[in-house]
Structure formats: structure tokens, C-alpha cells
Structure 1
Amino acid sequence: MFEKVLITDEERQMFPKWTVLDEDLADVDPVLAEQVLESRLEFFRGDISRTDYWHDPEGIDVIADIQYVDDGTRAHRLDLYLPHDSVVRGSKTTPVYIDIHGGGFVYGYKDLNRNFCTNLAKQGFAVFSISYRPAPETDFLGQLEDTAAAFRWIREHRDDYPVAQDQVFLTGDSAGGTLALYMTAVERSSEFAEKIGIGQSGLSVAGSALISPLTDLTSYLALCGFDAKCEFGDARLVPIIDCIAPMFFTRLFDRGAELADLKTMAEEVDFPSVFINTSSDDFIHVESLKLATALVAAGETSNCTIGIRIRARPSATCSRCACLGWMKARRSSA
């Protein structure tokens, strides 16, 4: 099916460690399927170059592959990373982070962020890391529905673990930052939750750390009138988000374009403390600035912190280091 896409045997062996390859593309339009596969390969080849630096620090307990939806699928699992001393003490005081991985909405499972999550746990946090269905298996609202289901599972089962029971913090990178932003809005505003059609979990979100998030979806909703066959010429020259937009954002578009308007969101949602991290290497850094501008204009000045790394290479590592500082500060004030 994908004769033009070159994949080595080694890549085929490595892919399942943290992402789907092409198993979900058999019934997808061939042009769109090829674009998705090319994007997954590009993401994968960037990540594989960093794997030599990934490690689990000592003193972290891992509870892996918990099904938050009882359907047996890999996309509906979560991990919990705990400082070992929290397990030994057994007290329910360890502050909780929920991490949502990125990957252009088409790539990755929770395992992609294991290195980040274990090192975050090393700072004294309990970290739930969640998977969700990638596009084109589902759309944007489907990914939010998966995330909301994971949040409900955490609320219903957190008493089984030595973690704080009163509030949580969210974090996510890239597409995961987008999902974290929208879930912050859902959990902090019953009106927004009702409009978008995503049920609140009952978790109290006390802060959100967004790393290189895609925040302004209005231009993608404008593409929802197109046929979902990637009518943009050579698919290989088009960003994956533009190519999947006609099918990926249609349900969100149908529920109201204002749901993607940052100004409206910032004015209507009672946002908690928000940390937005970008860098000079971040090709979507303008998205972070758009969100920060909207929050400040809505009077959220005291709650909005922007971390900008001017010479951050590699950006993912440095951005996350900056983000850790904010997270530790939030822990002390929790």
C-alpha cells in the first residue's frame, strides 16, 4: 500500500515501543494515509535520535498499562510514576501531575513521554501519563473524550494510590499541550464543557504547564468545508495538521467555531495558574504568544507565566527543564 514510503526493518521493530505505525491506515484514503505515515516516520526519526539519553532515574516506582477504558486497546491505557518514598510512606499527599503526550495528533502513545514523566516524578510528583487514540482513528473531540475518560478513571481510583486527593496539575507538549489546554477549560468551566460536549471528571485543576502547545485552531476549522482527501496538492509538502483538518476538526466546527477562539475562551473560563513554555527553536512559538496575549487581555495577568528560551537546543529538553522549575514552585504552593 505504501510503496513510496521507505521504512527499514530496524524502524519497524522500534516503532511499537511508543507509537502505532500503519496498522490503523488500511481503510483510510490512500493520499491521507501516506501523509500520516510520512509524518509518523518524521516524528519517529527525530525521537529515535534522543533515545540514548532516555533513562529511568533511581527511586521511581512504575505502575504501567492500566486500562482506563475496559476495551483492551493500547490507546486506552495509562501509567503512574511514583517517588518510591511516597509508596513507602503511604500518605496521600504527593502532588499529582497528569501528562498528555504530543505527536501532531497522529503519533505516539504515553510511552513516548516516559523519560519526561519519570524525571518529573523524581522531583517529588505522582505522574499519571495517558494514551489516547491517534488520528485518523479518531478526531479531535474523540481525543478529548479519551482524555476525559482517563481523568474520570483517575478521580475514581486515585484513592487506591499514595497521591494527593484534592487537586491535580496538567502538562502536555505540542498536540498534548492543546489537549491539556482544552481539558483545563472543560474542568474549569461547566459552560464550556457543555458547549463542547465533553463531560467534566470532577478533578480540581490547580494549574497547567503547556510546552509548545498548538493553541489557535480557528484556521484549521476554516478547512472543514474541504473534502477530507487532502486537497492541497502534494501531501508530502503539507503539514500533517492541515491535511487531517477537514476530518479531524469537523465535529468541533459543528459544535461552534467560537470554541476555538482564544479570546472567548480566556474571557469565559476561570483559568488557574498557566505556564506556557516556548523557545527560539519552536516552529510554532507564535501559538504560545497568542495564548499568552489572550490570557493577559482577559485579565489573567497574575495567573499567566511565559517561559521563553532564546537559545534552547534541543528545545524539548531545555523547555522541559524550564517547565520543571515552574512545576516545583507550584508544588510548594499547593
Structure 2
Amino acid sequence: MPRHALRPLCLFLFLSTLLSINSSGISITSERIRNIPYKVQTAPGFSAEKNVLDVYRPNRKADKPFPVVVFIHGGNWNSGSKNIYWFIGRRLAKQGVVAVIISYRLSPAVQVPAMADDCAQAVAWTSQHIAEYGGDPNRIYVMGHSAGGGLAALLATNDALFANVGLMKNPVKGAILDDPAGINMYDYLKKMEFPGDKQYLTSFGTAPDGWRAMSPLFQVKADTPPMLLYTGEKTYPSIISGTKALHDKLQSLGINSRYTVIPGKEHVPMVKQLFWKRNIIYREAIAFMASGPLLGLTGAQTARCSPGMGMR
């Protein structure tokens, strides 16, 4: 397999181990409400397994509604489940965030446009119902790793996804992208540089116009919300180049963006590190949501943290 290709098997094996130690619905700091359908169950193509989400809400009371993060899992567009990522829901809820962890239909059953539609419907459900769980519908952020990072970027940049599901306005206030894949599949698939690249035609189709439409880099516009972008120093070169290009485009349009390279990290460890609450991504995301879009999100940086700060 080429080094540019994603390796969902390693990710799946690691996260399956985490899944095996998953806790019950209630903890000291948070409550989990599982398997809520976010689409009408009689809708064409509805999947009782995939078109569902879990909500993690803090147990403590607050003077005002909590900010909300909708997390979208990775898995090469053909694997993965919300059930693996319980630890992200728990960590966010412990820090005063209502977390919505979603599943969505996968390839080969559907292609990326349908996945993006599922994710948009999950965010639309969140906008309409999250107040019932203590969340603020006016402070919804999207977060994702790998393929989920690319889908989160699409939600932040493509308002038509929400118009298609009945929302007149994009409810996403910002995006937190962790080693996002698929930021520029248009140029990547035009090259077909590596033997394994044909696998992505199953998810993205064979039409270059479709590749471009599903590449967040080409959807950025002047009113795109601010973003926190992270890549590992040792991740796939296509992820680094795509994320850097997205950051540069955001900056060129005057959109607040911070791009952080985390030393020594490969692709899978970029999500493994979210097991620890003091991880840099959580710390900066919590500050981002607390302070709003004017958090000085400019330029690029290289993270430098000691092990005690959660860089594991």
C-alpha cells in the first residue's frame, strides 16, 4: 500500500480495543444518550445502524447552555462507527461541552455526497434538538479525524448541504480538523499516482466534477467560519499538503485559521491522543469555543508540549 494511502485497518484495531473498555451510559461527569435517529426512519436509504448518533452531556448544571461539538469519525470512507469514539464524547463532556458523536452510511453502499448529506442531517438534527440536552444551538462546531475531518470541512464550507436538508442558514460556527483527509481529492485523484488510489473511486466516483464538489478546498468562501487545523509531522504527505492549502486559502480570504503541526505524530496517533483530556487539541478547542472566532487564529505553529500536557 502506498504511504499516501490511508490505513483504516490499523485505526480500526486500535479503536476496537478502546471500544472493548467502553463504560456505561452514565458516569460521574457526563451522561450518554445512545442511538438517536437523526433522519426520518421512513426516508429512502435510512440505515438503523448508521443514521444514528449519541449525545454526551455534562452532568453539572450551568448558568447558560453548553457549546456543542459534532464529531465525525474517520475510516477511509468505508469503515468506522460512532461506537468506537465514546472516549471523545466523555472527554468533551467532562470539559463542559455537549458532544454529538455520529455514524453515517459508508462506501460501497453510498458515495461521499450521500455521506456528506448524512452528516448535514445530523448537524441539522443537532441544531433543532440539542437545547433539550443542555446544548446551545447557536454554538455548534464540527470536528473530525481523517475522512471525518474532510466531511467536517465540507459542512463548514458548503452551505448547500444544509439547504438540501431544509436549513436556510449553515449552523456551523467553526471547525476543528484533526489530520483531515480528502481536502483536495480533485487534484489527488487526477494524478492517480499510487497503485492503491483507484480504491477511492468507489467512494468519490469517476467524474472529476464530483471530486471537485466534494473537495472542501474549492468550497471555501468569504463567510466560511474559523477553523483549527492539525496535522501530524509524520502523517501522510497528501494530508499535510491539503491541510496547508486549506489554511492558506482561509488566510487569503481573511478567515481566522490556525494550523498546528504536532511533532512526531503519524496519522493514527493523531486520533489516539484524544483519549487524554489534556491533549493540545482539546485545550485549544475549548478555548476557541469559549472565546469565539476572534481568538487570534492566525499563522501556523508547531506544537511543543511535555508528556504531562497530554502529548502522547
Tell me which interval the TM-score lies in, with the shorter structure as reference length.
Answer: 0.7 to 0.9
Normalised TM-score (structure 2): 0.75
CA RMSD, 1 decimal:
3.2
Tell me if structure 1 keeps the 8 A contact 2:33–2:56. yes
Tell me if structure 2 keeps the 8 A contact 1:220–1:249. no
User: CA-to-partner distance for each residue in 1:86-135, whole Å, 9 max, x for gaps?
Assistant: 4xx6x651111111111111111111211112111111000111110111
Corresponding residue number in structure 1 for 2:174? 207
Distance change (3 Å), C-alpha of 1:137 and 1:159 = same
| 1:67 correspondence with 2:67 | no
Counterpart of 1:330 (choices 260, 272, 288) is 288
| 1:164 correspondence with 2:123 | no
| 1:84 correspondence with 2:39 | no
User: CA-to-partner distance for each residue in 1:192-241, whole Å, 9 max, x for gaps?
Assistant: 867xx6764745222110000021111355389xxxxxxx9xxxx844xx
| 1:282 correspondence with 2:235 | yes
**Structure 1: how far apart are the matches of 2:127 and 2:207?**
26
What secondary structure, in the 3-state scheme, does the structure 2 residue paired with 1:167 have?
A: strand
Equivalence map 1:8-19=2 (5 Å): none
Q: Note the C-alpha offset of 1:315.
A: 3.2
Corresponding residue number in structure 1 for 2:219? 265
Stretches of structure 2 that go unaligned for 5 or more consecutive residues are 1-5, 293-312
Tell me if structure 2 keeps the 8 A contact 1:312–1:319. no
Corresponding residue number in structure 2 for 1:15? none
Tell me which moved more, 210-219 or 291-300. Answer: 291-300
Corresponding residue number in structure 2 for 1:180? 152
Corresponding residue number in structure 2 for 1:311? 264
What secondary structure, in the 3-state scheme, does the structure 2 residue paired with 1:134 have?
A: coil
Distance change (3 Å), C-alpha of 1:136 and 1:220 = farther
Tell me if structure 2 keeps the 8 A contact 1:278–1:309. yes
**Structure 1: how far apart are the matches of 2:16 and 2:47?**
27
Counterpart of 1:138 (choices 99, 105, 110) is 110
Corresponding residue number in structure 1 for 2:13? 45
What secondary structure, in the 3-state scheme, does the structure 2 residue paired with 1:270 have?
A: coil
Tell me if structure 1 keeps the 8 A contact 2:149–2:178. yes
**Structure 2: how far apart are the matches of 1:252 and 1:172?**
26
**Structure 2: how far apart are the matches of 1:333 and 1:127?**
18
Q: Note the C-alpha offset of 1:309.
A: 1.1
Larger radius of gyration: 1
Counterpart of 1:248 (choices 195, 203, 217) is 203
Corresponding residue number in structure 2 for 1:296? 251
Tell me which moved more, 310-319 or 102-111. Answer: 310-319
Normalised TM-score (structure 1): 0.71
Identical positions, percent? 23
**Structure 2: how far apart are the matches of 1:62 and 1:50?**
17
